Amino acid sequence: MKPARHPWLLTATATLICAAFLLPVYWMLNTSLTEPDHILGESPRWIPAPATTENYSAALDDDALLQALFNSLVISSGVVALTLLFGVPLSYALARVRMRGSGTMVLALLVAQLPPSIVLAAPLFILERRAGIDDTYLGLIAADTTLTLPFAVIVLRPVLGGVPRDVEEAALVDGCGLMGVLLRIVLPLMVPGLVAVAGLSFLIGWGEFVFGLTLAQEPGVQPVTVLLNSFVGQHGTSWGALMATATVICVPVVCVFAIFQRFIVGGLTAGSIKG
């Protein structure tokens, strides 16, 4: 492949594109550090001068934020656990077990990702109300898992396709059962894919809003995304506190992606190439 004639042009173009995508993030951080009286000024301030932490103090002093952060942590962790618990065996079955209808099942999983959350909210509310798990962590975890499980299977099935069958067959000959092969042989070879699924499942669970708003009426179990909606009132919006809270919410997301970025990108790439 010949090197680009004008690498500086590609760099400038990539910089402009990144800046355009990061502008809302910067403006969120800028607004969170701006004094409340100056947020809606006639001329926008690109640099908050003087910077203030008043908005963060108002947001963090609210016990509702700490409770909502705890709720989101519980829900997101539960989504990761439930997604891996069901996603790994289902992916293994679709990749290794010869059975009729496996292609139809994969197609159904693809179709399951198409409807928006608001379409699934009403039937899930009815089912969870009848099961008695509405307004509970379990109900929100189960609802969010309906979004992450199809994605997990779609990613992990091609990854499993890249695991040599000879290794599994040798383990079976040595007396290792099917479950032992899965736990001792297959899972260690799937680490990049598993981390990718776990990281993205956590992000999806952390950022889900529709299910948190429709399936939980008790503030004691609602995620932090629902708390953001409370800053938008009928008579105005508390922009300073809203942006400060949004910045605090983004910190766990940025940390998770920064820590697992290599695994997430590697896992998704491996799945796309081997699929």
CATH number at residue 92: 1.10.3720.10
109 and 180 assigned to the same domain: yes
CA distance 78 to 55: 31
150 and 25 assigned to the same domain: no
- Give whole-number Cα distances, 49 to 34, 39, 54, 172, 237, in Å: 7, 11, 13, 68, 22
Considering the chain, what is the average pLDDT of its residues?
82
2 and 74 assigned to the same domain: no
Q: Is the pLDDT of residue 188 over 90?
A: no
pTM above 0.85, yes or no: no
pLDDT score, position 275: 42
5 and 92 assigned to the same domain: no
35 and 74 assigned to the same domain: no
Residue pair 127/116 in contact (Cβ under 8 Å)? The answer is no
pLDDT score, position 192: 81
Q: List b or e across 170-193, with b for residues whose CB sees 16 or more CB atoms inside 10 angstroms.
A: ebeeeebeeeebbeebbbebbebb
38 and 86 assigned to the same domain: no
Q: Is residue 68 part of a domain?
A: yes
DSSP 3: P
CA distance 128 to 135: 9
Band of residue 274 on the pLDDT scale cut at 50, 70, 90: very low
pLDDT score, position 184: 80
Residue 202 CB neighbours (<10 A)? 24
Domain boundary among 24, 52, 80: 52
Tell me the backbone φ, ψ of residue 115, rounded to 5 degrees: -65, 140
Q: DSSP of 34-91, one letter per residue?
A: S-GGGTT-SS--SS-SS---HHHHHHHT-HHHHHHHHHHHHHHHHHHHHHHHHHHHHH
pLDDT score, position 273: 45
Q: Is the pLDDT of residue 71 over 50?
A: yes
41 and 124 assigned to the same domain: no
Total count of domains within the chain = 2
41 and 160 assigned to the same domain: no
246 and 155 assigned to the same domain: yes
Q: Is the pLDDT of residue 97 over 60?
A: yes
pLDDT score, position 137: 93
139 and 269 assigned to the same domain: yes
Q: Is the pLDDT of residue 180 over 50?
A: yes
The residues facing 232 across adjacent strands are 237
Q: Is residue 211 part of a domain?
A: yes
Mean pLDDT, range 4-23, rounded to an integer: 84
Range of the domain at 35: 1-52
Amino acid identity for residue 232 in this structure? V
Local structure of 232: helix, strand or coil: strand
Local structure of 233: helix, strand or coil: strand
Q: Please tell me which of 93-97, 140-144, 182-186, 187-191 the model is most confident about, judged by mean pLDDT.
A: 140-144
pLDDT score, position 235: 54
Domain boundary among 52, 76, 94: 52
Q: Is residue 57 part of a domain?
A: no
- Give whole-number Cα distances, 128 to 125, 132, 148, 202, 218, in Å: 5, 6, 18, 22, 15
> pLDDT digit string (tens) for 218-259?
888 999 989 888 777 655 677 888 888 888 888 888 888 787
Band of residue 59 on the pLDDT scale cut at 50, 70, 90: confident
22 and 142 assigned to the same domain: no
67 and 40 assigned to the same domain: no
Task: Give the least confident one: 80-89, 156-165, 230-239, 266-275.
Answer: 266-275
Residue pair 65/219 in contact (Cβ under 8 Å)? The answer is no
